Structure 1
Amino acid sequence: MSEDHGLEEDDSGAVMRAVGRQIKLWREAAGLKQAELGAAIGYGEELVSAVERARRIPRPEFLDNADKVLGAGGKIAAMKKDVAEARYPKKVRDVKKLEAEAVELGSYNNSVIDGLLQTEEYARAVFGDRRPAFTEDELERRVAARMARQEIIDATTARPLFNFVQCESTLRRPLGGRMVLRRQLERLLEIGQLRNVDLQVLPLNREENAGVDGSFRLLRLKEGATVGLNEIQLISSLIAEPKAAQILDIRYGAIRAQALTPRESLAFIEKVLGET
């Protein structure tokens, strides 16, 4: 059960300290030692101690089981939502919050498949290639965070609107191996069928490419503002200044015009899948 993740030093620390204190109080009120609680819920004494000291983030089943064993009447289990938010890096939580406020999201990517479209295997390969390498706990944490962000693409709500432009190179780069790539391409074909998703491919043989400066994202927010997100190597930035965001907006419009239409793009992805 050692897969519970570590914790970054940000505002999530306060959440986890409060959770740890509550678990300790309930445990002591029940007259149990850390080892006894751990044995009762299927975890080791070391992990129980780490959770109480806010050094580890407990999984939902840890909280559910502790709630039952300690007779907390749902008070410990009720903290699962707060813990789930604290589980992910602050940068991810900030992006997820922005995405939740958007009515339209656009993305151009010429390095990897957009994070909102990635399969778990593909995401694991992307993070696994990072140098210096992530620890196993950090790798699992980041993969989980990426998968959680994908909840925004909900076929039942048909909103917000999504547009993804993927450079052809990302469809052919076999990160994680050919089978991982095949499943990723199949995933793209599935998402491309959703009514609120336009998926486009920018072929490598295009003589014009307004995206040569690299990948970026655009979010149109509910109040009408447009912001950009830019991640290059060790730098991650939010582009909120209106003139700069407008430049990205114009650039993204050009990229979409240069790319294949959504219908042509799905046929193109099927062709690449057949060649993989």
Structure 2
Amino acid sequence: MVNINILDPSASPLDYYGYELRRYREAAGLTQQQLGSVINYTGSLVGQIETARKLPTAEFSERVDLALETGGMLSRLLGLVLRSRLPVWFQQVAELEARATEICTFQTHMVHGLLQTRAYARAVLGAMDENNLDDRTTVRLARQSILEKKEPPLLWAILSEAALRQVMGGPEVMRDQLTHLLSFETDPRIFVQVLPFESGAHAGLTGSFSLFRFSSDPDILYTEGYGMGHPTANPETVRDCSLRYDHLQAAALSLKDSAELIRRIMEERYEEQPRTDQRPVA
């Protein structure tokens, strides 16, 4: 167990968060149990967060900020904490997402992380590794906070039809995920298109990729392999994939038709079906 008396606030953003939480709590003259009672969490959880053994959440941070009158300090620090818990190779991508004014992504087999529900993300992350699954899911979903900024990026997501039919976590999880995708129909900054199977050979056969565009910096292309990411600003490579994205947008269904296909797949594959072994009551 970590000794709170030697917790080093410079060791990591999580350690710094725990150090500051403890400092504010003690300045208020509260024990961990007393603070927990005030914010409706257990004293044990407060202690785990103070000793950098548990990740804080947005709700926890907001309640502590209010209770200890921190001026929103812990809530502001939370984004840095969660980003630091991403795999090292992915942290640069999260920074690109946070700075981009426009994100264009093509996904061949699953919904992009910025559009995933908690249950769907948990199913994806737990496919090969269930260690610290709750925390890893929280960290992934924290990336979605960029969509709630005062000036969020424009997000254009093209999904292969396979991403809608590949069952992640079971029918209920998929039904909720597709419902979530449909919730963006009226969002003026998030667009979801589906590339149907019937489109045949297309410009994205080599795999998923994302393009990040910025107000003043060069565009960046990002591709991903097993346990590694490949961002590049090479003009020729970026130009080639930008052209590929234009072709994918042209081959994909319109926004309206994409939504209709999502609804149809949801109804055909993931809606609850009556049991066939039940007999009508006489």
Q: Tell me if both proteins adopt one fold, taking TM over 0.5 as the criterion.
A: yes
Match of 2:76 among 74, 77, 81: 81
Match of 1:261 in 2: 254
Match of 2:140 in 1: 146
Question: Deviations 1:185-233 (Å, cap 9, x if unpaired)?
Answer: 1111111332223321111122221111111111111115211122222
Alpha-carbon contact 1:106-1:162 (below 8 Å) kept: yes
Q: Aligned-pair distance for 1:146?
A: 2.5
User: Counterparts in 2 of 1:196-211, with a 5 A limit?
Assistant: 196-211=189-204
- In structure 2, the residue matched to 1:227 is 220
Partner SS for 1:248: helix
1:41 aligns to what?
35
Within 2, Cα distance between the matches of 1:40 and 1:95? 39
Instruction: Give the match's secondary structure for 1:107.
Output: strand
Other structure's SS at 1:175 match: coil
Contact 2:211 2:219 in 1 (8 A): yes
Distance 1:63 1:116 in 2: 22
Asked if 2 retains the 8 angstrom alpha-carbon contact of 1:106 and 1:163, the reply is yes
Cα separation, partners in 2 of 1:30 and 1:12, compared to 1, 3 Å:
closer
Aligned to 2:126: 128
Deviation at 1:103, TM superposition (A): 1.9
Give CA-to-partner distance per residue, 1:33-65, whole Å, 9 cap, x none: xxxx333234456962x5455444445637955
Offset from partner CA, 1:152-177 (integer Å, 9 cap, x none): 334985x5322111001111112111
In structure 2, how many angstroms separate the alpha carbons of the residues matched to 1:90 and 1:261? 34
- 1:137-216 correspondence to structure 2 within 5 Å: 138-154=132-148, 159-216=152-209
Alignment of 1:27-66 (within 5 A): 37-42=31-36, 43=42, 48=47, 51-59=49-57, 61=60
- 1:91-110 equivalent positions in 2, closer than 5 A: 91=87, 93-110=91-108
Counterpart amino acid of 1:149?
R
Consecutive unaligned residues in structure 2, runs of 5 or more: 1-8, 37-41, 270-282
How many residues are matched? 252
Is residue 22–residue 50 contact of structure 2 (8 Å, CA) maintained in 1? Answer: yes
Which of 218, 235, 241 is residue 234 of structure 2 equivalent to?
A: 241
Tell me if the contact between 1:24 and 1:52 (Cα under 8 Å) persists in the aligned partners: yes
SS in 2 for 1:170: helix
Whole-Å Cα distance in 2 between the matches of residues 56 and 155 of structure 1? 26
- Which residue identity lines up with residue 61 of structure 1 in the other structure? F
Identity of aligned residues (%): 29
Using structure 2 for the length normalisation, give the TM-score. 0.75
Cα distance, 1:249–1:53 mapped onto 2, change above 3 Å: same
2:123 maps to a residue whose letter is A
Q: Distance in 2 between matches of 1:171 and 1:165?
A: 11
Deviations 1:1-23 (A, max 9, x none): xxxxxxxxxx9833344444445
CA distance in 1, matches of 2:187, 2:10: 34
Give 1:126 shift: 1.0
Unaligned runs of 5+ in 1: 1-10
**Which one of 260, 266, 274 corresponds to residue 267 of structure 2?**
274
Q: Following superposition, which runs of at least 4 residues in structure 1 exceed 6 angstroms of deviation?
A: 26-32
